[in-house]
Amino acid sequence: MMKEKTEILINSNQIEKKEKSFATIHPGRRRAEKAFKWISRIMTWSTVFILLVLLYHLGKEGWEYIDWQFLDSYPSRKVAKAGIKAGLWGTVWLIITTAVITIPIGVASALFLEEYGVKGKIGKLIEINVSNLAGVPSIVYGLLGLAVFVRWFNFERSILSGALTLGLLIMPVIIVATREAVKAVPDSIRFGAYALGAHKWQVVFYHVLPVALPGIITGVILALSRAIGETAPLIIIGALAYVSFVPESVMDEFTVMPIQIYNWASRPQEEFHQLAASGIVALLALMLTLNFIAVFIRIKTTKRNIQ
Amino acid sequence: MKKSLKLLLTGVILTSLLPSLSANAQAKLRGKVSIDGSSTVFPITEAIAEEYRAVQPRVRVNIGVSGTGGGFKKFLVKETDINNASRNIKDKEVKKAKKNGISYVEVPVAYDGLTVVINKENSWASNLTPAQLKMIWDRDSKVKKWSDIDSSWPAKKIKLYGPGTDSGTFDYFTKAINGKSGRSRANYTKSEDDNVLVKGVAGDKYAMGYFGYAYYKENSKKLQSVAINNVKPTEVTINNGSYKPLSRPIFIYVSKDGYKKPEVKSFVGFYLEKAKEIVGDVGYIALKDIEYKKAKESLKTLEK
């Protein structure tokens, strides 16, 4: 994608060059270039700086309470005894269930739209719908989840309801990312496979999908990272604030780490605010672990493709 | 590719089949107690649930925080057994309960004293009357500066902080001070997070705000409480009722259908047994012994 764009840019510049000397159009272009580079550099570093400040503050406040006891205890009114076990396991269950439901549906939908395609007005309608869905505020998904999954399907306030709701929320992200990844697969690979007599599904499954996989995984990481931090839709569907057990099936009730953190942050006692910071550190660690696993899978799959 | 997918799938299936290893043979009761409702009552119910777990580890007590009104919505369609409430049930909700055939009992569990707070450096407003509070907080209030209330006070702008309009604290305060629940001026800084209000008042000499006693108690070094008719809110004055009109009982509502389940009955019994010693830990004030006794009596009507 990027390459194509820059190529086009270079081309248009060359065309202009033929008409007038480039230097006369932009007299201070070297200085402008330097200034632009510096502005971009400062912008990039300021983002990194903000992130570092955030991490430093969290670490400073939250580090004190992080130990095994914190990870392996249920909520308590006494700070020393309180822990995030219920939220941690709730989040893990929820994210895995969400991934299992959403990834196949999202990837398959994207493959269908990109490789097989729906022509005409219906195709356009689907496309507009998918991109619109990506812009809907998350709380609206919560209301939908409450009406459809909790009440109508009667899944109650379960992990399944939560996962389906979050699934809807991140589906557009996965679909869009997968479509972009599939689009980027060069046609030569498809034609090569066709030339050897492969059937369309063989082309898609054995050639297009593996090449597109790293891009798909990146999209999935982004989508799941968003899901892991969501609170609003889960509160609406009735995720709980106090749970004193680890879920045993997808039909169990649950809480998630962001809800637990919010609960601690709104307590009057200062120590609970520190506990909230510890919770955030744990949440970040969990997210990074999941991302690491995904990156690991990506590296593995990419290597195999090259061989 | 195929292999890694297979691996992933088996992993997922295995995790979902893995049973919990936390079985406890001594537990007598099993089952589930579903609770939702007010965030004000939540810390008490949470503390009780934590203690209850030591007695009956196989009973799952779930507590949500949808707010008093949001909790009643679930309570009145039989989705929960108990509702935490920081106000009495409203007429509208009573009607709905009748329509849905739900009987319940209102059980007071503790007192909360709504506390009006000012900055530490404020030397003039440490004692106010309800009438003065009404002047400040009433709908269309003309008060902009402290001197609008009493001409001897500084001619500085009052900065007001209070809870959002969905909160039970807001309902109670507006009813007690302005005469009607929900009747309030609108131009003040609202936040559902009381810690924001604490910070606001602590940081501005000319600020004023109100919230639950627990938040004042935790921040009494940073804030000053306002005496109402010369009575400061303390554990004693809230408990004996001399702190008026801002001390309020907070409740749990127990449904008859829920109470039929032995685990709910056992939990509610435990609640009233332990409330007295636990509510103080989380910043609330215990009821008088006789009131807890009365509450226990009232539960008997659910057994018929």
pLDDT digits (tens, 9 = 90+) for A145-166: 999 998 899 988 899 999 999 9
Asked if residue A8 is part of any domain, the answer here is no
A256 and A162 fall within a common domain: yes
Mutate to test the interface with B, among A211, A242, A260, A269 (most CBs of B within 10 A): A242
Q: For strands B247-255 and B104-113, give the pairing.
A: antiparallel
Share above pLDDT 90 across residues of chain B, in percent, rounded to a whole number: 66
Tell me the shortest Cα–Cα distance from A31 to chain B, in angstroms: 47
- For residue A133, the model assigns a pLDDT of 86
Task: Using the 3D structure, point to which of A32, A48, A65 is the last residue of a domain.
Answer: A65
On chain A, the residues whose CB falls within 8 A of the CB of B16 are: 249-250
A89 and A158 fall within a common domain: yes
pLDDT-derived band at A301 (thresholds 50, 70, 90) equals confident
- For residue A13, the model assigns a pLDDT of 54
Reported as a single tens digit per residue, the pLDDT across A221-244 is 889 988 998 888 998 888 888 888
Residue A243 touches partner B, C-beta closer than 8 Å: yes
Residue B284 touches partner A, C-beta closer than 8 Å: no
- For residue B51, the model assigns a pLDDT of 93
On chain A, the residues whose CB falls within 8 A of the CB of B22 are: 245-246
Q: Is the pLDDT of residue A285 over 60?
A: yes
pLDDT-derived band at B109 (thresholds 50, 70, 90) equals very high
Contact A241 B63 (CB under 8 A): yes
Question: What average pLDDT does range A65-90 have in this prediction?
Answer: 90
On chain B, the residues whose CB falls within 8 A of the CB of A265 are: 193, 195
- For residue A304, the model assigns a pLDDT of 61
On chain A, the residues whose CB falls within 8 A of the CB of B12 are: 96, 100
Q: Is the pLDDT of residue B1 over 50?
A: no
Which residues have C-beta within 8 Å of that of residue B250, sequence separation ≥ 6? B38, B40, B41, B44, B84, B85, B86, B108, B109, B110, B111, B112, B284
Asked if residue A258 is part of any domain, the answer here is yes
Question: What average pLDDT does range B260-280 have in this prediction?
Answer: 93
Question: What average pLDDT does range A55-82 have in this prediction?
Answer: 87
pLDDT-derived band at B10 (thresholds 50, 70, 90) equals low
Alpha carbon of residue B89 to chain centroid:
14
Reported as a single tens digit per residue, the pLDDT across A101-115 is 999 999 999 999 888
- Report how many domains make up chain A: 2
Residue A214 touches partner B, C-beta closer than 8 Å: no
Residue B200 CA to residue B185 CA, distance in Å, equals 18
pLDDT-derived band at A49 (thresholds 50, 70, 90) equals very high
Asked if residue A128 is part of any domain, the answer here is yes
pLDDT-derived band at A1 (thresholds 50, 70, 90) equals very low
- For residue B154, the model assigns a pLDDT of 93
A164 and A261 fall within a common domain: yes
Asked if residue A105 is part of any domain, the answer here is yes
Residue B92 CA to residue B96 CA, distance in Å, equals 6
Instruction: Provide the residue ranges of all domains of chain B, joining segments of one domain with +.
Output: 31-111+249-303, 115-245
Residue A273 touches partner B, C-beta closer than 8 Å: yes
A172 and A139 fall within a common domain: yes
Point out the residue among A76, A249, A266 whose CB comes nearest to the CB of B195: A266
A129 and A215 fall within a common domain: yes
> In sequence order, what E strands does chain B have?
31-37, 59-63, 82-85, 104-113, 115-119, 127-128, 159-162, 189-190, 207-211, 223-225, 227-228, 247-255
* ipTM of the complex as predicted: 0.76
C-alpha pair distances (Å), B16 with each of A157, B12, B186: 18, 6, 50
Helix or strand (DSSP H, E) at B289: helix B289-299
On chain A, the residues whose CB falls within 8 A of the CB of B195 are: 265-266, 268, 273
> Which of B242, B224, B255 has its CA nearest to residue B285?
B242
**A94 — phi, psi (to 5°)?**
-65, -45
CATH number attached to the domain at B115-245: 3.40.190.10
A148 and A108 fall within a common domain: yes
A25 and A159 fall within a common domain: no
- For residue A7, the model assigns a pLDDT of 53
- For residue B140, the model assigns a pLDDT of 87
- For residue A129, the model assigns a pLDDT of 87
Reported as a single tens digit per residue, the pLDDT across B18-66 is 444 344 444 578 889 999 998 889 999 999 999 999 999 889 999 998 8
A98 and A186 fall within a common domain: yes
Class of CATH domain B31-111+249-303: alpha beta
* Average predicted confidence (pLDDT) for chain A: 86
A60 and A86 fall within a common domain: no
- What value, to the nearest 5°, has the Cα angle with vertex A255 and ends B53 and A88? 90
Q: Is the pLDDT of residue A250 over 70?
A: yes
A42 and A160 fall within a common domain: no
Residue contacts between A and B (CB atoms, under 8 Å): 88
Residue A263 touches partner B, C-beta closer than 8 Å: yes
Contact B50 A300 (CB under 8 A): no
Residue B19 touches partner A, C-beta closer than 8 Å: yes
* Average predicted confidence (pLDDT) for chain B: 88
The domain of A179 spans 68-306
A74 and A56 fall within a common domain: no
- For residue B192, the model assigns a pLDDT of 81
Domains B31-111+249-303 and B115-245 share a fold: yes
Contact B65 A263 (CB under 8 A): yes
Reported as a single tens digit per residue, the pLDDT across A68-80 is 889 999 988 888 8
Asked if residue A150 is part of any domain, the answer here is yes
- For residue A291, the model assigns a pLDDT of 85
Q: Is the pLDDT of residue A9 over 80?
A: no
Asked if residue A2 is part of any domain, the answer here is no
> Which of B89, B66, B80, B71 has its CA nearest to residue B259?
B80
Reported as a single tens digit per residue, the pLDDT across B121-163 is 999 999 999 999 999 999 988 899 999 999 999 999 999 999 9
Is residue B85 helix, strand or coil?
A: strand
> Which of B117, B100, B90, B66 has its CA nearest to residue B220?
B117
A60 and A196 fall within a common domain: no
Reported as a single tens digit per residue, the pLDDT across B118-130 is 999 999 999 999 9
pLDDT-derived band at A24 (thresholds 50, 70, 90) equals low
pLDDT-derived band at B3 (thresholds 50, 70, 90) equals low
Contact A301 B1 (CB under 8 A): yes
Q: Is the pLDDT of residue B17 over 50?
A: no
CATH code where residue A295 lies: 1.10.3720.10
